[in-house]
Amino acid sequence: MANRQIARSLSALISGALITLSLAPFSFWPLAIIATAILFTALQQQSIKHSFWLGWFFGLGLFGTGASWVYVSIHEFGYTSIYLAAFLTFLFCGGLAFCCAITWALYAWLLKKNNVIFNSTHSITLAMQSVNSQQLILFAAVWVCGEWMRSWLLTGFPWLFIGYSQTESLLAGWAPIIGVYGISFIICISGAAISHLFFLRQGIRTHRTLLTAVVLCWFIATPLKHVQWTLPAGEPQQVSMVQANISQHDKWRREYRQPTLALYKELSEPYWESSDLIIWPEAAIPIYYQQANSFLDQMDSLASQYQTALLTGIPSRDTHSNKSYNSIVTVGNANGVYRKQNLVPFGEYIPFGDLLGNVLAFFKLPLSTMQAGNTQQAPLTIQQFESKPLICYEIVYPGLAAKAAAVSDVLITVSNDSWFGGSIGPLQHLQMAQMRALENGRYVLRSTGSGVSAIINPAGKIVARSEQFEQTVLTDEFNLMQQNTPWTAFAYFLTPLLCCAPLIFQIYSKFNKFR
């Protein structure tokens, strides 16, 4: 029996790791379905306790392979030893894995199974005989509920959603309608159904209606790719995005401030006349907004002279409260300031700061003092169009991006992925920006300090991109888009609710029986 539990734990661990391989930069998308099939099989007839630990091993496999790039930030830029950085990375990934543990413990509790652990392939087959359509749907619902929970818990870590595996694959056509959450649901129910049919072939007859619906979801996705939910408005615009590739080690050093400003000015010089918009990345100006007035006035004069607009990342400080913000400001033919709303846990803010802040201070790790901006900020006015920008991590929030797209003609995001070096993190980040373009039917202009900068069209295709760790200016055309996709209009909040509806109904039924 112990050997069987070890085997299940190992399969759960592998399942999590396979999801990472289904995402960028590997993009072996069929592995996403295989991963869900493996986990569904492992969870059969498990007690709440065993499901909890299977969920934890699954989460460890997922985050240990897919989010371990935080090691680069902790070791290389946090200046910690290899051993301490490895330990803190394990704590980070292991802590996130508990979200998965709780999710699958809830799944076991809702199934109300006996605490029986089967010990052979034949026993798994017997377990599959008790599986009904409700259980297949519940598996997908719990999975999506877990992903949705990670999008807001402690301001959220909405990373490694399984739906991202389809950004450039078969189910991409569903993105403007049901978004990444809905695609995750289809993948999960497909994997669970495949697992069930593998062990019990007559399941085709008993689940005919459900399986037909699942198959139709895959077939309909292809023609859906050709539906144009949004339309271009006006003439194409020219954008130039400056990628200065300044080392993160030097970026904030006092002696590099003036050379940094001079470099951005120099790289932009050839593009003032030809560009409608020039974008500098997150925190391109390494001094507070209030200290950069003279330099910004120079840039305003240049931009106005050529009838163009400059958008740049810069930290800012409220002179009354002394609070610091990660901001975007505009000069030239543009107007507005934006302050980042969703901060990076442990990067820009410390959850449970009174407790964990003291712990991190003990390890002599740098602590951030950033504050979250107002949730009701107006979009920036740029030339004759509007855009509510997203700073770095904010592009990974499906709901936040949909709200921004609803008041934007184009989605603009600035980032600084140099924190993660040559790891897979920046490429995962780029893939999520592609999904935001798909979901909202908008061009996404992604300007980064060290790459990958990209222009992504409403179909989620990258039409121009830079290489990482290269000093360059990425310039190309984009279109302003009008009208909203169903996702932008209402599905960004309705889809998670519908996906989680079976879970909500099951919880209600369970508690209703206790009365």
pLDDT at residue number 515: 55
Task: Compute the distance between CA of residue 273 and CA of residue 499 in angstroms, rounded to an integer.
Answer: 49
Task: Compute the distance between CA of residue 361 and CA of residue 63 in angstroms, rounded to an integer.
Answer: 25
C-beta atoms surrounding 159 within 10 Å: 21
pLDDT tens figures, 247-289: 888 888 999 999 999 999 999 999 999 999 999 999 999 999 9
pLDDT at residue number 221: 96
pLDDT at 215 over 90: yes
Between the alpha carbon of residue 151 and those of residues 154, 185, 344, 393, 474, the distances in Å are 9, 16, 12, 12, 31
pLDDT tens figures, 454-492: 999 999 999 999 999 999 999 999 999 999 999 999 999
For residue 213, which of 141, 146, 133, 129 has the smallest C-alpha distance?
A: 133
For residue 445, which of 485, 420, 411, 400 has the smallest C-alpha distance?
A: 411
341: amino acid identity, one letter: Q
pLDDT at 118 over 60: no
State the angle between helix axes of 257-268 and 293-305 in degrees (0 to 180), rounded to the nearest 10. Answer: 0
Given the residues 100, 145, 217, 392, select the one marked as catalytic. 392
Please, are residues 339 and 373 in contact by the beta-carbon 8 Å criterion?
Answer: yes
Query: Active-site residue 282, yes or no?
Result: yes
H/E stretch holding 315: strand 309-317
445, β-bridge pairs: 412, 455
Per-residue exposure over 173-212, b if at least 16 CB sit within 10 Å of its own CB, e if not:
bbbbbbbbbbbbbbbbbbbbbbbbbebbeebeeebeebbe
User: What is the DSSP code string of 61-113?
Assistant: HHHHHHSTTHHHIIIIIT---HHHHHHHHHHHHHHHHHHHHHHHHHHHHHHT-
For residue 273, which of 227, 318, 226, 305 has the smallest C-alpha distance?
A: 305
Task: Compute the distance between CA of residue 178 and CA of residue 499 in angstroms, rounded to an integer.
Answer: 10
Worst-scoring range by mean pLDDT, 258-267, 347-356, 426-435? 347-356
Given the residues 113, 217, 251, 282, select the one marked as catalytic. 282
Q: What is the mean pLDDT of residues 204-222?
A: 86
Task: Compute the distance between CA of residue 511 and CA of residue 497 in angstroms, rounded to an integer.
Answer: 20
pLDDT at residue number 222: 93
Band (45; pLDDT cuts 50, 70, 90): confident
Given the residues 113, 251, 340, 388, select the one marked as catalytic. 340
Query: Active-site residue 340, yes or no?
Result: yes
Please, are residues 375 and 340 in contact by the beta-carbon 8 Å criterion?
Answer: no
H/E stretch holding 114: none
pLDDT at 354 over 60: no
Q: What is the mean pLDDT of residues 74-80?
A: 81
Task: Compute the distance between CA of residue 415 and CA of residue 453 in angstroms, rounded to an integer.
Answer: 9
Please, are residues 87 and 72 in contact by the beta-carbon 8 Å criterion?
Answer: no
Residue 136: exposure state from Cβ atoms within 10 A (0-12, 13-18, ≥19): buried
Distance, C-alpha 176 to centroid of its chain: 16
pLDDT at 363 over 50: no
Task: Compute the distance between CA of residue 115 and CA of residue 118 in angstroms, rounded to an integer.
Answer: 10
Q: Look at 362 and 23; give whichever has higher pLDDT.
A: 23
- Token pair recorded at residue 195: 């697992």
Between the alpha carbon of residue 260 and those of residues 241, 254, 257, 265, 285, the distances in Å are 16, 10, 5, 9, 8
Between the alpha carbon of residue 115 and those of residues 108, 109, 132, 444, 474, the distances in Å are 10, 10, 19, 50, 58
pLDDT at residue number 513: 64
Task: Compute the distance between CA of residue 136 and CA of residue 193 in angstroms, rounded to an integer.
Answer: 7
Residue 405: exposure state from Cβ atoms within 10 A (0-12, 13-18, ≥19): buried
Q: Look at 418 and 366; give whichever has higher pLDDT.
A: 418
Residue 149: exposure state from Cβ atoms within 10 A (0-12, 13-18, ≥19): middle
Q: What is the mean pLDDT of residues 387-395?
A: 96
- The rounded percent of the chain whose pLDDT value lies above 70 is 90
Site of tokens 């009008």: 482
Q: What is the mean pLDDT of residues 57-86?
A: 91
pLDDT at 114 over 60: no
**Taking the C-alpha atoms of 149, 154, 156 and 157 in order, what is their torsion angle to the nearest 10 degrees?**
-100
pLDDT at residue number 35: 98
332, β-bridge pairs: 309
Worst-scoring range by mean pLDDT, 25-34, 72-81, 123-132, 139-148? 123-132
Query: Active-site residue 500, yes or no?
Result: no
Q: Look at 126 and 397; give whichever has higher pLDDT.
A: 397
Q: What is the mean pLDDT of residues 332-360?
A: 75
- The rounded percent of the chain whose pLDDT value lies above 90 is 73
Band (123; pLDDT cuts 50, 70, 90): low
**Three-class SS of 220-256:** HHHHHCCCCCCEEEEEEEEEEEEECCCCCCCCCCHHH
What is the maximum span of the chain, computed from C-alpha positions, in angstroms?
A: 77
CA atoms in the 13 A half-sphere facing the CB of 46: 24
Please, are residues 96 and 153 in contact by the beta-carbon 8 Å criterion?
Answer: no
- Token pair recorded at residue 210: 């459900």
pLDDT at residue number 258: 95
Band (368; pLDDT cuts 50, 70, 90): low
